[in-house]
Amino acid sequence: MAGGRDQLGPLERVTRVVVALIAAEPKGVPAARLLRIADFGGDPAHHQRRLTRLVEELNRAGWDIRSTALRGQNAVYRAFTRDNRLRVRLNPEQQAELARAALIAGDTVFADRLGIESTQLPQIPKLHSPAVRGTDDALNKVLHALEYHCLLHFTYKQQPRVVHPHFVQPGTSGWHLIGHEDGGAVEKQFVTDRMTAVTIDHPGTARPHDEPHRAELDPLTWAVDPPTDVVVETTPEHRARVEMLLGSRVFSEVDDDVVRLTVPVTHRAAFRDRIYELGRLVRIVEPAEVRDELVAELATLAE
């Protein structure tokens, strides 16, 4: 590596480092090779410190780049595949609370997908539950009824109940059954530990639960910016992945080995996040303003 001046511009350096890390998955890139790719120039004694700072800046921007080498061994950097949209949009405290909620709901791998270490998670309080009468027989029957859409019969607050189960969720008093009681118009909650004489009808006897309309969770579909048709290019080999991440295209054409897709964009920041995730698999053709926004954002990151 030549000494003296900075051999690469900051933007080009960031791009080369990220592309090299993505291309090397899952083996990773040894630190010595990554230093050659970064080509910092100047005093070699400071190169490792500059590389460490560059990796820290990329991680703050939503990437998950870590050394997988054991203590005492030369560093090997990997860019772990994460959904970095949440890492960009949420601060660390919000990310931790979201992962905590996922743990409470029973999703034990969400925090890892988000790139959150277990030591960063807030303490999950234990749910208070009254003394269980004998066994978890009521909860087991409720779960069976949910799986097979069975009508539930049980006694609750000294009243016989007939309930169409919808789902079970944790609450301050233990596990709560949510469902419609026969003759009722609204959903009710029942603490499973307080249910007695629980019996189950045959599979399919419970009414299907019509899920209410839920707002789309994919930020790419949010109407944040005026609609813009963006033309991108990829290869036939990577077309499926590009379409999966960028959403439904309104037009496509194939010219030799190039696939050109026209994608409606209503959330430009989310769209740029997807482009970063795709890396060199895709190229923005037009409009120029969308391409310029991406370049400007990368330049800001490099600075």
Query: Is residue 214 predicted with pLDDT exceeding 50?
Result: no
> Average per-residue pLDDT in the chain?
77
- Are both 296 and 230 inside the same structural domain? yes
Report d(CA 183, CA 246) in Å as an integer: 46
Angle in degrees, 0-180, between the axes of helices 10-23 and 288-302, rounded to the nearest 10: 90
User: 170 versus 62: which is more confidently predicted?
Assistant: 170
Beta strands, E only, the chain: 29-30, 65-67, 76-79, 152-156, 159-171, 174-181, 187-191, 196-200, 228-234, 251-255, 258-265, 283-286
- Are both 20 and 70 inside the same structural domain? yes
Q: Is residue 248 part of a domain?
A: yes
Query: Is residue 123 predicted with pLDDT exceeding 70?
Result: no
Question: Is pTM beyond 0.75 here?
Answer: no
Query: Is residue 213 predicted with pLDDT exceeding 50?
Result: no
Radius of gyration of the chain measured on its C-alpha atoms = 26
Tell me the CA distances in angstroms from 111 to 15, 28, 92, 229, 276, one per residue in order: 27, 22, 12, 34, 21
Contact 48, 56 (CB under 8 A): no
Q: Is residue 53 part of a domain?
A: yes
Query: Is residue 126 predicted with pLDDT exceeding 60?
Result: no
- Are both 152 and 168 inside the same structural domain? yes
Report d(CA 246, CA 209) in Å as an integer: 32
- Are both 43 and 29 inside the same structural domain? yes
Among 87-91, 121-125, 291-295, the range scoring the smallest mean pLDDT is 121-125
- Are both 61 and 92 inside the same structural domain? no
Structure tokens at 19: 């592309």
Query: Is residue 161 predicted with pLDDT exceeding 50?
Result: yes
pLDDT level of residue 84 (50, 70, 90 thresholds) = low
CATH code of the domain covering residue 296: 3.30.70.240
Report d(CA 216, CA 261) in Å as an integer: 23
- Are both 189 and 169 inside the same structural domain? yes
At residue 68, what are phi and psi to the nearest 5 degrees?
-100, 5
Q: Is residue 256 part of a domain?
A: yes
- Are both 226 and 295 inside the same structural domain? yes
Domain housing 93: 85-120
Query: Is residue 137 predicted with pLDDT exceeding 50?
Result: yes
- Are both 194 and 171 inside the same structural domain? yes
- Are both 24 and 59 inside the same structural domain? yes
Q: Is residue 213 part of a domain?
A: no
Q: How many structural domains compose the chain? A: 4
User: 117 versus 254: which is more confidently predicted?
Assistant: 254
Percentage of the chain lying above the pLDDT 90 cut: 16
Contact 14, 298 (CB under 8 A): yes
- Are both 182 and 255 inside the same structural domain? no
